[in-house]
Structure 1
Amino acid sequence: MDIFSLIGLVLAGVAVIGGSILKGSGVAALLNPAAFVIVVVGTFASICLHTPMSVFMHAIKMVRLVFAPPRSDLNEIIEKVVSWSQIARKDGLLGLEKVIEQESGEFERKGIQLLVDGTGPEAIRQILEVDVSVKEHRDLQGAKVFESMGIYSPTLGIIGAVLGLMSVMQHLDDPSHLGTGIAAAFVATIYGIGFANLLLLPVSAKLKAAIQEQVQVKEVLIEGFLAIAHGENPRNIETRLKGYLHH
């Protein structure tokens, strides 16, 4: 569990609700079904037109990465690669066959299988880089779903505010309702801007960071597989891969 993300979510609620209370508006002022329909439902309507269903569903599945990002310890990964290189140096590439069953990661198993099959270094690079590129592209599409929603949401908030003010202007003959009507109109703006800047855009940025971290891990693995395929010394492999730790 990423506690920092959970803290951010709680503080977002505190910022809006607490701010409304401290300003004297109260929590009730934030509750407006019409504003909710215009902003939230409208934002989902926009993204339905903007994005294919498969991409949207993938984006929904990716939300878990915000609160439960994949654990990737580069030190541990480098140690594994070095241990594979030691096995290959001692028993040959076929000696890695027993390692395949011990690995849980699909990418790791695929790379080791390529080594065992005697695939050339350049072919290994091309095959694995295609996997990385396709996965990165699909995940970035998912992250951009939330980014796009964060762009549409404030605009829909403005639309909600304008619609609310239009309603107020139609009842200028009743001054007693002007104050509450104008306040309710601006709730839509709060929904739109708050929804975008306190939830959607941060989620998109967090997902992109998680994607980049996963790509870096796979880059380390690819470099390791290539070094093993070239028969490099395990100590040299370790030294090279530890260069990633500085970044």
Structure 2
Amino acid sequence: MDIGLILGLVLAFGSLLAMISMEGASVSALLLPAPMMLVFGGTIAVGIASGTLRDFLHAVKALPRAFRGERRTAQSVISTVVGHAEKARTEGLLSLEQGVSDEKDPFLRQALQSIADGIDAEDLRILLEDEIASAAARNRTASRFFMTLGGFAPTVGIIGTVVSLTHTLEKLDQPETLGPMIAAAFVATLWGLLSANFIWLPIGGRLQRLGELELERMTVLMEGMLAVQAGAAPAHVAERLGALVSDARPGKDGKSKGKAEKKGREESDATSSLSEVGL
């Protein structure tokens, strides 16, 4: 479980509470039911209205994932694919069907079953790319919904403030109540800004990043299983997939890559020097 979102929210609201405490203010002055109900209820309502009910349901379904984080990364599935490559090399592609029922990842399970069924490599690539495209669309829908809430929340807060100030102006004959009423009016704007920048936008950004990691993992699985189907050696599969992973740990391959890049730069510099002297 990746606690990045939880940790960030705790630190954000903790900083706010620390500021309130240092200024000698009261937290209860911010916890007013009326403006909070308008900001949260109104923001979610206009968020639903700006899309479809299906978008809202996708976003609600994806919310636990934002707190839980990505359970399997692209780096972690390389060993799984290499294991399938070793099995396919020694026992044949049909042996992959034995692990279909035990595989929890539906994407990998579909790839294993398709290979065992003898599907053509090009058809398999099209099938898996369609699955990746569908997953990308779902991820965009969920993250976009929370980003939309982050855009609406400050404006809804301003609406709440305007409504409260309108009510305050009706009480000009009661000067002793103007101060508390004006302060309460600005609570709506505060919650609009807080909910946008402390809740909705971080959740939307988190889901967007998790979606990118999921697509990276699925791409690694697709390329790996296509290599397995082609009969590639397990070592070659591991090297190929390691090059696709952005957070792959540096090792022997990393050193080789560094040497290759250094050699490439030296050759480029040499070419530039020759060009300057007109050779």
Distance 1:78 1:31 in 2: 49
Larger Rg: 2
Task: Work out whether 1:129 is the aligned partner of 2:129.
Answer: yes
Match of 1:87 in 2: 87
Give the deviation of 1:21 after TM superposition.
Answer: 3.2
Distance 2:241 2:205 in 1: 27
Give the deviation of 1:123 after TM superposition.
Answer: 0.7
Structure 1, unpaired ranges of 5+: none
Match of 2:12 in 1: 12
Distance 1:73 1:180 in 2: 52
Give the deviation of 1:175 after TM superposition.
Answer: 1.5
Distance 2:178 2:75 in 1: 63
4+ runs of 1 displaced by more than 4 Å?
A: none
Match of 1:217 in 2: 217
Give the deviation of 1:181 after TM superposition.
Answer: 1.4
Identity %: 34
Distance 2:7 2:90 in 1: 49
Match of 1:240 in 2: 240
Alignment of structure 1 residues 8-47 onto 2, 5 Å: 8-47=8-47
Q: Deviations over 1:91-130 (max 9, x none)?
A: 2211212121231111111001111111111111100111
If the length of structure 2 is used for normalisation, what is the TM-score?
0.83
Distance 1:73 1:142 in 2: 20
Give the deviation of 1:73 after TM superposition.
Answer: 4.0
Moved more, 74-83 or 180-189: 74-83
- CA RMSD in angstroms comes to 1.6
Distance 2:213 2:175 in 1: 57
Q: Deviations over 1:221-241 (max 9, x none)?
A: 100111122222222111111
Match of 2:231 in 1: 231
Q: Residue type of the partner of 1:214?
A: E
Distance 1:160 1:75 in 2: 48
Contact 2:74–2:218 (CA under 8 A) maintained in structure 1:
no
Contact 2:153–2:193 (CA under 8 A) maintained in structure 1:
yes
Distance 1:29 1:93 in 2: 67
Distance 2:44 2:209 in 1: 24
Contact 1:2–1:66 (CA under 8 A) maintained in structure 2:
no
Distance 1:121 1:162 in 2: 62
Alignment of structure 1 residues 1-247 onto 2, 5 Å: 1-247=1-247
